[in-house]
Structure 1
């Protein structure tokens, strides 16, 4: 059931879903208004309804039909040109954020819905030739004026919205919000879990292997459905992959004891990564912005520092809260063990490549040390402090080799000492 819900959710988030719904609604509305007028006519007391004749209605609907599709085509051609330039700077994977923008999808929906409504209304006009009775869809002509008004409003909104959407700061903020939401969801899940007694080491060594029958990225895992199936088969399963993992045909997916069962319906493998359960997906997108900003062709350390600030903000919100343990039980029996994102893995994903690509950029080193100081000031867990200290040590090691100016080295040393003081104070408290 969760897999079906995931597929329906994915379908609803496709770029064409909202436009398709609005087009279908507009066609149905056009046909309904035509039927309504043919059946009951237009009451005389409805003075706001269009009162013109056949030629006026035909001209109006023809103009709106032609203009709506023409303007829509021109605007989206310009949009594609603008996005191609932006994507070359921020990375092609960020196109996903634009395609998921509900404002853009709604605007496109209004554009094509106006065209569809006007076109289907136009085809119903009859001039009374060849013995046919004259028919003018007065309701439709009135409603198409409302569509045209919405169309103009959508054009104005779209121009302003797109101008803001291609802003680097807005993109970084949106990706940071996605990452914050993913971490919040993960910590809420962890809070609902109790402490488990893990199976003894080697418990799954004699288990039955389960291999992938196709390659791609693991997009979704129905953990609860998998646990329920394991309970039904009186089995326990160790899942060796997680959402975001790339597998090839024949790769080992899981190990099951005492006997294996089919798990294909509980795993969805596709051609691209998905942000539904992949906590590191938003990290990767933000990281790509920073790495591209630090490339020699771009050389924009300010954007990289902006990304570092967002990483620090997200980690500071995490504080001492736990991440999911990767254990699911039913009736006090462990049924599923699965791989999860750890704090160390998350911090490594955030900072390693930025440090490697900074290549002696002092401003970025300083901002990373300041960010680590902010994060270490929010946690009292020794294991997490050690993870953060390891990254601070790596930054100082790189700086010692790549930074030659003594004043810059002193500034970095001061920030490093500040980090150490905060860490020791929090661990001691």
Structure 2
């Protein structure tokens, strides 16, 4: 299982490095190699082709085949250039209007990749078939395959234009990011709930292995199942000292392994190597397992929208609504730090994660500080806190009331009109406002 996870992650990293080159390239080369098979079949089976392929729509003369293939190959490579130009324009608009950190998501967009790959394949196939067409050899199957690729390319281009037009809509991007964030938080909540009924106890520490980072980088992903299996096998407790998304320095300790017995040097070295292989450090952050990164992207969009240069409060309001929706499951259960316990109640893996308290603080503090004189935003924040208070775990009630009081105090400090302050107070009916 660990090997498969490692292989999947490694392949994903390769494709992510050059997302607009690797995947389109693989698609184009694969279809082009398939056309080689068709050319071979044309040469070997031409005398035995059925009658319907030797007349009507499927049969083409040499001059017609050359003309059609020339038009298809020329149009495909021209359109491919247009597609990449449109993608670059979208990148520019997204970086300026939404946020530069969204570019990573755009480069990984499957519609962009498939469109580029299909157009590249159409060009290569048409050019190759044209090269093999002669007076004595008109590859009927291959010519018709090139025509089919041209039809598919037109349909894909139409879909691509529709996809590109949606990708610059801020509300669509905010909704997609928040959906992924909600899915990830829901997975963590389910994992924590599975462990909630188990009583846990820590091992008596008789030996400790401090693990240090071998390079600088962001802690991006942890193979929890592999770590758990390893801890059970050697009767260990593995504790991460840093949460996902933290930047770790080379030679900085970020994992502690505890054993209830003295370990020999060979075992220590083996455990060290296996655990290091379960943890991934990358040069840049991504939203694969990094909850804080996804939250920060949405907050960045909101703060950019609130800046004087943009002044788009309603985009910021959309971000708040989506963020509170994403926090729904974690606030309901009162999410705590994640620990994986075995059947005997021994803690095997400790992962410092995102508690409900820290998630609420991460969302509401920066947005409140940037909206101290914006009544529309503060009312939205108050409504968001009110919604969360209705479904929140009882232990989060005091924290939500503290945030409600801070929202009121922030607006009061901007010397507002008494009527506006009273209006905000009505939205904070779950808070005993201290004036």
TM value normalised by structure 1: 0.89
CA contact (8 A) 2:306 2:313 kept: yes
State which of 377, 384, 393 in structure 1 corresponds to 2:390: 377
SS at match of 2:52: coil
Distance 1:313 1:403, change over 3 A: farther
Q: Which residue of 2 aligns with 1:391?
A: 403
2:294 paired with 1:294: no
Cα deviation 1:4-34 (Å, max 9, x = unaligned) = 3333345566444542342133112211111
Q: Is the 8 A contact 1:204 1:238 kept in 2?
A: no
Tell me how far apart the structure 2 counterparts of residues 400 and 284 of structure 1 sit (CA, whole Å): 27
Native 8 Å contact 1:217 1:247 kept in 2: yes
Match of 1:272 in 2: 284
Task: Work out the CA distance in 2 between the residues paired with 1:294 and 1:168.
Answer: 14
Q: Distance in 2 between matches of 1:210 and 1:77?
A: 47
Aligned counterpart, 1:217: 218
Residue segments in structure 1 that go unaligned for 5+ positions in a row? 128-133, 422-429
Whole-Å separation in 1 of the counterparts to 2:281 and 2:115: 32
Q: Which moved more, 1:118-127 or 1:86-95?
A: 118-127
Task: Give the equivalent residue in structure 2 for 1:425.
Answer: none
Who is 1:45 aligned against?
52
2:82 paired with 1:74: yes
Give the corresponding residue for 1:36. Answer: 41
Number of the residue aligned with 2:369: 356
Match of 2:244 in 1: 243
- Structure 1 window deviating more from structure 2 (226-235 vs 384-393): it is 226-235
Q: In 1, Cα distance between the equivalents of 2:386 and 2:36?
A: 64
Counterpart contact for 2:405–2:431, Cα < 8 Å: no
CA distance in 1, matches of 2:329, 2:214: 40
Shift of 1:206: 7.4
- Looking at structure 1, the residues matched to 296 and 380 of structure 2 have their Cα atoms a distance apart, in angstroms, of 19
Residue 139 of structure 1 pairs with residue 141 of structure 2: yes
Candidates 392, 409, 431, aligned match of 1:420: 431
Distance 1:9 1:105, change over 3 A: same
Which residues of structure 2 form unaligned runs of 5+? none
Matches of 2:363 and 2:56 in 1, distance apart?
60
How much does 1:316 deviate? 3.4
Q: Could you tell me which residue of structure 2 aligns to residue 108 of structure 1?
A: 116
Range 394-403 or range 359-368, more displaced = 394-403
Q: Give the structure 1 partner of residue 11 of structure 2.
A: 8
> 1:210: how far off?
1.2
CA contact (8 A) 2:245 2:293 kept: yes
* Residues 69 and 129 in structure 2, CA contact (< 8 A), matched pair in contact too: yes
Note the C-alpha offset of 1:160. 1.7
SS in 2 for 1:207: strand
Helix, strand or coil at the partner of 1:341:
coil
Secondary structure of 2:132 counterpart: coil
Instruction: Work out which of the residue numbers 66, 75, 90 in structure 1 matches 2:98.
Output: 90
2:358 counterpart (345, 353, 359): 345
Contact preservation (8 Å) 2:52, 2:58: no
Determine the structure 1 residue equivalent to 2:194. 192
- CA 1:82–1:12 in 2, change beyond 3 Å: closer, same or farther? closer
Partner of 2:326 in structure 1?
314
Residue by residue, what CA displacement relative to the aligned partner does 1:138-182 show, whole Å, maximum 9, x if unpaired? 111111111111111122221122111110111111111111111
CA contact (8 A) 2:93 2:168 kept: no
| Distance in 2 between residues matched to 1:351 and 1:205, nearest whole Å | 43
- Whether contact under 8 Å (1:49, 1:142) holds in the other structure is no
- Residues 406 and 372 (structure 1), Cα distance of their counterparts in 2 relative to 1, 3 Å cut: same
Change in 2 beyond 3 A, CA 1:38/1:4: same
1:167 aligns with 2:169: yes
Say if 2:129 and 2:139, in contact at 8 Å, map to a contact too: yes
Contact 1:191 1:322 in 2 (8 A): no
Q: Could you tell which deviates more after superposition, 39-48 or 191-200?
A: 191-200
Judge conservation of contact 1:207–1:256 (CA < 8 Å) in 2. yes
1:25 corresponds, among 18, 25, 30, to 30
